[in-house]
């Protein structure tokens, strides 16, 4: 029972940052624009990078989310354990990564691609699918690795 309680406390702490009436649970993330809009509401305009992970069910509805890490002005290093811990606890079948670029330019860096590949390789081991990695730039601008065809091609485990 301690694990469920621990997750509930973790979930509540992160949802407190979203104003009442705008809690994202149960909302469908149908495309990268929906992801970007939701992430902008949660992250807001920050002067540091924040990695947000949306936990999705089989119908791409939000089961939960977490701030995996916070970084500096130009990077937000994260380990797979930080990305997947809360997603596993929430029973997610899929995740969407989303982080911001304080510079305002949503173009991914080489380390963004490397990180996405690392997460995509780890996801099948946990039975979770990485659906997209969305990078936020200036308000209203984003880069979706899925939309741009730059998601890593990973063969799922059989």
pLDDT tens for residues 53-101? 999 999 999 998 988 877 654 555 678 888 999 999 999 999 999 999 9
Domain boundaries, the chain: 2-144
Q: 46 or 120: which carries more pLDDT confidence? A: 120
Where are the alpha helices (H) located in the chain, listed in sequence order?
2-15, 32-43, 80-90, 110-122
Query: Which pLDDT band holds residue 44 (cuts at 50, 70, 90)?
Result: confident
Q: What is the pLDDT of residue 69?
A: 78
Could you tell me the pTM of the whole model? 0.80
Q: 1 or 109: which carries more pLDDT confidence? A: 109
Q: What length is written for the chain?
A: 158
pLDDT exceeds cutoff 50 at 152: yes
Question: CB within 8 A of 147, min separation 6: which ones?
Answer: 31, 32, 132
Q: What is the pLDDT of residue 72?
A: 54
CATH fold of 2-144 reads Cytidine Deaminase; domain 2 (3.40.140)
Is the CB of residue 25 less than 8 Å from the CB of residue 77? no
Q: What is the pLDDT of residue 54?
A: 95
**In whole angstroms, what is the distance from residue 65 CA to residue 43 CA?**
12
Q: What is the pLDDT of residue 78?
A: 78
């Amino acid at each position: 029972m301690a694990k469920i309680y621990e997750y509930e406390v973790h979930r509540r702490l992160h949802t407190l940052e979203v104003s009442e009436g705008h809690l994202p649970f149960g909302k469908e993330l149908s495309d990268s624009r929906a992801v970007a809009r939701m992430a902008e509401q949660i992250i807001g305009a920050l002067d540091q990078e924040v990695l947000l992970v949306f936990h999705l069910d089989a119908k791409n509805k939000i089961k939960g989310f977490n701030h995996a890490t916070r970084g500096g002005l130009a990077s937000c290093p994260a380990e797979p354990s930080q990305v997947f811990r809360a997603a596993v606890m929430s029973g997610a079948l899929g995740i969407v990564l989303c982080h911001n670029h304080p510079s305002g330019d949503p173009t991914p860096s080489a380390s963004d691609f490397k990180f996405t590949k690392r997460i995509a390789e780890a996801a099948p081991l946990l039975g979770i699918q990485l659906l997209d990695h969305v990078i936020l730039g200036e308000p209203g601008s984003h880069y979706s690795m899925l939309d741009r065809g730059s998601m890593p091609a990973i063969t799922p485990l059989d």
